[in-house]
Structure 1
Amino acid sequence: MESNVTTVNGIRRRWEEQGQGQPVVFLHGIPTDPSLWRHVMPRVHGARTLAWEMVGYGESIPEGQGRDISVARQAEYLASWMRELGLGRAVVVGHDLGGGVAQILAVRHPDLVAGLVLMNAISYDSWPIPMVKAMRAASGVVERLPDAVFKLVMQSFLMMGHDQGSKAREAFKHHWPHYQRHGGAAAFIRQVRSLNVRDTLEISDQIPRLGVPARLVWGAADQFQEIGYGYRLAYELRAPLDRIEGGKHFVPEDHPDRVADAVQGLLGDLNWAG
């Protein structure tokens, strides 16, 4: 994948890109970055795949200082970036917070969304999860944790969300360095403080009226985003849900083939697959 950077409205925007064809935009969550999609994007064919980095996350953590990095605001940052690149209507693929960003984008900027693929996504009142709420409540203490201690917290968080320890360790090697370079626990707490369930609740009544083709993939054993919310989304979007038995939260890293199949299937439905 090729790393790219541009500036839109005075904010540095970063993304990873590969392939050619109709655009497919991938959206990560917390505590990840565009490398979340490193095993998915090479499996998607006949499309221009772009993994966008949320403002205030990954290598863009410094861009989040002093800015609104809420999920709702991320949808606006995303829309302005898509318009700057002239992407037109894209298939938007979202995991975790990125799934919430995708839903808000589809509601508020329908001209940019040709279809949705959601997995283990925040929605309705499903978030923030208890662990994150606890960290936010103790944020004054957590943000001062030395890197050695916060590193253990991050490792534990990823272990809970992966099917296998080896997958969690691989993920840690990709996602931890951004925090290590850009503020550690303080950067994470800045992200956590931006989370407000209002962002998805405000658009929840619009989900059944979206009318865009969609597919869902969900780890049935996810402790962070329970599959019941996935079924509700699938019902309201009138979309199929691929249930991964034993799958946990980080399905793009643990089950990239299932995610890529969903994306490729939707591209086929749109007659975009090349």
Structure 2
Amino acid sequence: MAGWSRETAYLTAGGKQLEYRCWGTGPEAAPTIVLLHEGLGCLALWRDFPEKLAQRTGWGVIAFSRAGYGQSDPADLPRPLDYMTREAHEVLPQVLDAVGFRRGVLMGHSDGATIAAEYAGGIEDFRVRGLILMAPHFFTEDMGLAEIARAKEAFDKGDLKDRMAKYHRDAEATFRGWNDAWLDPKFRDWNVAEVIDYLRVPALAIQGRDDPYGTLAQIEELETRAYSPVDTLILDDCKHAPHLEQPEAVLAEVAEFCARLERIEAAEPETA
């Protein structure tokens, strides 16, 4: 088992070496928030958010880079169009076991939010007591696909490649793995909203009102279909990265959500 490491370390999951780091209290003493990054994110691109999250909640926080991101091993390309489902079902269980996850929440951003929802809806894991989904994707939208096409232009002709190279071992492979999947004509029909029907833990959904990658229809789908409680935080003057654009609002809402989960758990009688 990789264990709790406050310095960047490596664990094995899905047959790959993945970089990870922990903040705050270990899983033996407090619940844990597991951070799942966006489609072009990685461990480093969470910046100081994990540390602030640990301080505000009193919980432990773990972040890692999926294969093909940051300094983790390269991914096998091209990515299959169901790559988020595969990450949820085949890789994330091994990550959670490797770091000694005992109980807590999955907090995902964009692709990471989809992976978190797919895990909670597709795998029975009583350690997961809640979900925090920032800018989740459950189905494609024309405006989001158009923005992803613009990202391709920025990578091919602008400075996006140079900016990504500061954080990813192979910026070209990282970008193509994500962008080629989303812009594949067959991906227009991608829809995993059915997973919402199987969620059985409380969720907090966070979305910027000006998000160019997805509309509030994603959040409405979650609210409409979820059997379990869904709280929402819709932020004005916010695009695709609420935790970086409106960190105080996000930290406050997440801290309250986590505290409420602890109050609920404390009130539930022990079962034999």
TM norm structure 2: 0.76
Tell me the equivalent position of 2:250. 259
Tell me the equivalent position of 2:223. 234
Distance 1:95 1:48 in 2: 18
2:207–2:216 contact (8 Å) kept in structure 1: yes
Tell me the equivalent position of 1:6. 11
1:29–1:98 contact (8 Å) kept in structure 2: yes
Tell me the equivalent position of 1:201. 191
Q: CA RMSD in A?
A: 3.0
2:222 matches 1:222: no
Aligned-pair identity in percent equals 22
When residues 176 and 258 of structure 1 are mapped into structure 2, their CA distance, relative to the original with a 3 A threshold, is farther
Q: 1:211 aligns with which of 195, 200, 210?
A: 200
Tell me the equivalent position of 1:73. 86
Q: Deviations over 1:229-273 (max 9, x none)?
A: 223223433312111111111112111222222321221122179
Distance 1:77 1:198 in 2: 25
Per-residue deviation, 1:28: 0.8
1:29–1:97 contact (8 Å) kept in structure 2: yes
Tell me the equivalent position of 1:64. 75
Which protein has the bigger helix share? 1
Amino acid at match of 1:54: R
Tell me the equivalent position of 2:116. 102
Distance 2:233 2:210 in 1: 13
Per-residue deviation, 1:67: 7.6
2:181 matches 1:190: no
TM norm structure 1: 0.76
Higher relative contact order (CA 8 A, sep 6+): 1
Tell me the equivalent position of 1:165. none
1:100–1:200 contact (8 Å) kept in structure 2: no
Q: 1:117 aligns with which of 126, 132, 137?
A: 132
Per-residue deviation, 1:66: 4.8
Q: Secondary structure at the match of 1:240?
A: strand
Q: Deviations over 1:102-145 (max 9, x none)?
A: 11111122314210011112113348622335777x9xxx99x5
The size of the alignment, in residue pairs, is: 242
Tell me the equivalent position of 2:40. 31
Tell me the equivalent position of 2:63. 51
Gaps spanning 5+ residues in structure 2: where? 1-5, 266-272
